[in-house]
């Protein structure tokens, strides 16, 4: 009997490809012979656009990369610009601590969406609803600090755009303390669940060596036994003052990645609570008038403030010629910014190293030879966001 | 640490290391374009740079050679970074692929070809990645207009 493989098209309009990802799958029955990802449907030319904007004007573009973790993208970018300017050690303590708190809330938020959609893809509907309930609380916190629910644009070169509003510290604390109980709920629904185990254990396996070779980073790499976290190994902000663990596992399968991300949420909660205890009153912007925007009350009340604001908004600042690379631990992996300055007010070249782009590259080797249904589980476990893949 | 690596590189490859620079505690070495695969293999096997964080092209229009390909390497064992660069001429924008050294370079090089127009010799799958296959031109080049080639330049303010 003659047999032949069948080629089918999955996406870009497909709920479980997590955005506009297209996969061309060559199938032998239900077994995947070859998977070819097609990306770029959401390409907006962020890198090109940034070459025509001042350094401050690029910050809102970064929100729209990984739109599930906008603050992490902001953070990576402002850290890169600060390094380029050489003002990294001038950032006030309070600004650094708030950055860490927000970055960790963002990690929880991003992991919640990952868990919700991953579980929904595999058929566990309830978790989805619970996760989005908690995510909503983080979005409310976002809204209170920045005015926006999704595209926060909260961090500034040199510090923050605004201080935390009154009463928010208690709200963040209340939410963070409740997180442990929520995580137990999710685990109660999934970890011991036979269907969940069948769908995740030994699915989408990748060894530590292969994972490094293909460039996986973040939780996906740590689930394959590689103990590497930029928050601990290449500390930025004031992460070195925090006490936290880096969860790792050695199995390298979907279940291991699930456990690593859940443990990461616990560690994030731990970091946030430490950060809230550390928080002392103080300035939220570095004392670098050539770079930092003046406080809003000065802009509207004094002529000097207005001139200062006008100067920075219309002209911008000019870092000296040079190039730097800053890698940060975003929820999905290493988010890197490579910035080249030619001494003008615009970045000469900005290259973003999006973790999802590199992680997605591992998909074909993880799904070739497995069942079609496991492709869905593997896309979910890689935790990709097309906004940052396509940029 | 990265400085010692540069010394080691110089010892091993001599004149193939064209330049080194230090800026904000980051080390950059510029190496000969033709030998990049050999040098990268040495960096991976003997210096421990097992992780290619990023690879990209930069267009220095008006300078000769016009392009640079930049490799941001990371050593996961001892947590250190190194930047390697090769210079690429406008007339012959080609570099040997390093996807045999780090598989992750595959998509990075496709992106570099797609957006910057630098092609990679012996690449297993050099197709456009972000733009449609029938796209003309390479948008990240400095002589490619922001609005696209077939539109009137934007008259308003950009910044």
Q: What is the ipTM score, two decimals?
A: 0.89
- How close, in Å, is residue B146 to chain A by CA atoms? 7
> Residue A315: its pLDDT value, please?
86
> Could you tell me the pLDDT band of residue B159, with boundaries at 50, 70 and 90?
low
- How close, in Å, is residue B105 to chain A by CA atoms? 8
| C-alpha triplet A357, A244, A184: angle, nearest 5° | 80
| C-alpha triplet A138, A260, A117: angle, nearest 5° | 55
- How close, in Å, is residue B81 to chain A by CA atoms? 9
Which of the 8 DSSP states describes residue A371?
B
Tell me the two tokens of residue B46. 């003997």
For residues A85 and B104, what is the distance between their CA atoms, to the nearest angstrom? 30
Per the CB < 8 A criterion, the answer to whether A203 and A253 are in contact is yes
> Residue B34: its pLDDT value, please?
86
Q: A350 phi and psi, to 5 degrees?
A: -125, 120
Tell me the two tokens of residue A162. 């605004």
> Residue A161: its pLDDT value, please?
86
CA A81 to chain centre: 18
Q: Is A194 exposed, middle or buried (0-12, 13-18, 19+ CB in 10 A)?
A: exposed
Cross-chain Cβ contact B54/A322 below 8 Å: no
Cβ density class A52-76: b for 16+ within 10 Å, e for less: ebbbbbbbebbbbbbbbbbbbbbbb
- A334 Cβ under 8 Å from any chain B Cβ: yes
Q: Where are the alpha helices (DSSP H) in A154-207?
A: 168-190, 194-200
> Could you tell me the pLDDT band of residue B77, with boundaries at 50, 70 and 90?
confident
Going B156 to A147 to A334 to A331, the CA torsion angle's sign is negative
- A391 Cβ under 8 Å from any chain B Cβ: yes
pTM score: 0.90
Closest CA to A376 of A21, A47, A109: A21
How would you classify the pairing of strands B26-31 and B80-88? parallel
> Could you tell me the pLDDT band of residue B158, with boundaries at 50, 70 and 90?
low
CA A89 to chain centre: 24
Which of the 8 DSSP states describes residue A149?
S
Per the CB < 8 A criterion, the answer to whether A158 and A285 are in contact is yes
Nearest-Å Rg of the Cα atoms of chain B is 17
Query: What are the tens digits of pLDDT across the range A258-284?
Result: 999 999 999 999 999 999 998 889 888
Cβ density class A229-240: b for 16+ within 10 Å, e for less: bbbbbbebbbbe
> Residue B1: its pLDDT value, please?
64
The residue ranges of chain A whose pLDDT is under 50 are none
> Could you tell me the pLDDT band of residue B14, with boundaries at 50, 70 and 90?
confident
> Residue A138: its pLDDT value, please?
92
What is the four-CA torsion angle of A368, A372, A373, A375, rounded to 10 degrees?
40
> Residue B157: its pLDDT value, please?
65
Query: Residue A350 forms beta bridges with which residues?
Result: A339
Percent of chain B whose predicted confidence (pLDDT) is above 70 = 97
Q: A285 phi and psi, to 5 degrees?
A: -130, 145
List residues of B whose CB lies inside 8 A of any A CB: 23-24, 26, 28, 50-54, 56, 58-59, 70, 72, 74, 76, 79, 81, 83, 102-104, 106-108, 115, 128-132, 139-140, 144, 146, 158-159
- CB-CB: which of A322, A349, A351 is closest to B23? A322
Helix axes B36-47, B2-13, angle to 10 degrees: 130
| C-alpha triplet B61, B64, B68: angle, nearest 5° | 70
Cross-chain Cβ contact B132/A228 below 8 Å: no
Q: Which residues of A touch B76 (CB under 8 A)?
A: 212, 226, 228
What is the four-CA torsion angle of A294, A295, A300, A304, rounded to 10 degrees?
-30
CA B153 to chain centre: 30
Cross-chain Cβ contact B140/A43 below 8 Å: no
For residue A63, whether the previous peptide bond is cis, meaning omega lies within 30 degrees of 0, is no
For residue A315, whether the previous peptide bond is cis, meaning omega lies within 30 degrees of 0, is no
For residues B35 and B37, what is the distance between their CA atoms, to the nearest angstrom? 6
Cβ density class A102-138: b for 16+ within 10 Å, e for less: bbbbbbbbbbbbbbbbbbbbbebeebbebbeebbebb
> Could you tell me the pLDDT band of residue B108, with boundaries at 50, 70 and 90?
very high
- A90 Cβ under 8 Å from any chain B Cβ: no
């Amino acid at each position: 009997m003659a047999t032949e493989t069948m080629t089918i098209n999955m996406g870009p309009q497909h709920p479980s490809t997590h955005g506009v990802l297209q996969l061309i799958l060559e199938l032998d029955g239900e077994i995947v012979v070859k998977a070819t990802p097609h990306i770029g449907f959401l390409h907006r030319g962020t890198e090109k656009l940034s070459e025509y904007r001042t350094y401050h004007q690029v910050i809102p573009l970064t929100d729209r990369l990984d739109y599930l973790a906008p603050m992490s993208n902001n953070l990576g970018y402002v850290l890169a610009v600060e390094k380029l300017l050489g003002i990294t050690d001038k950032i006030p303590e309070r600004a650094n601590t708030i950055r860490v708190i927000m970055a960790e809330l963002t990690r929880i938020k991003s992991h919640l969406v990952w868990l919700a959609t991953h579980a929904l893809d595999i058929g566990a509907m309830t978790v989805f609803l619970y996760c989005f309930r908690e995510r909503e609380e983080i979005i409310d916190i976002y809204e209170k600090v920045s005015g926006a629910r999704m595209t926060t644009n909260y961090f500034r070169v040199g510090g923050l755009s605004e201080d935390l509003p009154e009463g928010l510290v208690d709200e963040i604390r209340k939410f963070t303390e409740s997180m442990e109980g929520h995580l137990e709920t999710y685990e109660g629904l999934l970890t011991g669940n036979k269907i969940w185990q069948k769908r995740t254990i030994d699915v989408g396996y990748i060894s530590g060596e292969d994972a490094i070779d293909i460039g996986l980073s973040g939780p996906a790499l740590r689930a394959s036994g590689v103990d590497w976290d930029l928050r601990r190994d290449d500390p930025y902000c004031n992460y070195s003052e925090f006490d936290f663990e880096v969860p790792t596992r050695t199995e390298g399968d979907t279940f291991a990645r699930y456990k690593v991300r859940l443990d990461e949420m616990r560690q994030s909660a731990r970091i946030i609570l430490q950060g809230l205890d550390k928080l002392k009153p103080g300035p939220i912007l570095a004392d670098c008038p050539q770079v930092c925007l003046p406080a809003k009350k000065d802009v509207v009340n004094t002529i000097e403030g207005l001139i200062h604001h006008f100067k920075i908004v219309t002209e911008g600042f000019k870092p000296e010629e040079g190039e730097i690379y800053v890698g940060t631990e975003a929820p999905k992996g290493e988010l890197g910014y490579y910035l080249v300055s030619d001494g003008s007010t615009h970045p000469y070249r900005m290259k973003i190293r999006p973790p999802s782009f590199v992680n997605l590259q591992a998909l074909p080797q993880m799904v070739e030879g497995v069942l079609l249904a496991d492709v869905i589980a593997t896309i979910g476990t890689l935790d990709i966001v097309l906004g940052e893949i396509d940029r | 640490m990265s400085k010692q690596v540069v010394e080691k590189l110089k010892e091993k490859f001599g004149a193939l290391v064209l330049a080194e620079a230090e800026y904000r505690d980051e080390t950059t070495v510029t190496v000969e374009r033709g030998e990049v695969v050999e040098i990268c293999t040495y960096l991976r096997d003997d210096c421990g740079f097992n992780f290619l964080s990023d690879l990209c092209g930069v267009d220095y229009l008006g300078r000769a050679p016009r392009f640079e390909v930049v490799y941001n390497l990371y050593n996961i064992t001892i947590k250190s970074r190194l930047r390697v660069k090769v210079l690429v001429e406008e007339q012959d924008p080609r570099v040997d692929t390093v996807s045999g050294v780090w598989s992750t370079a595959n998509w990075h090089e496709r992106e570099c070809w797609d957006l910057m127009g630098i092609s990679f010799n012996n690449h297993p799958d050099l197709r456009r990645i972000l733009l449609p296959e029938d796209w003309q031109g390479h948008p990240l080049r400095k002589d490619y207009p922001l609005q696209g080639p077939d539109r009137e330049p934007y008259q308003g303010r950009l910044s």
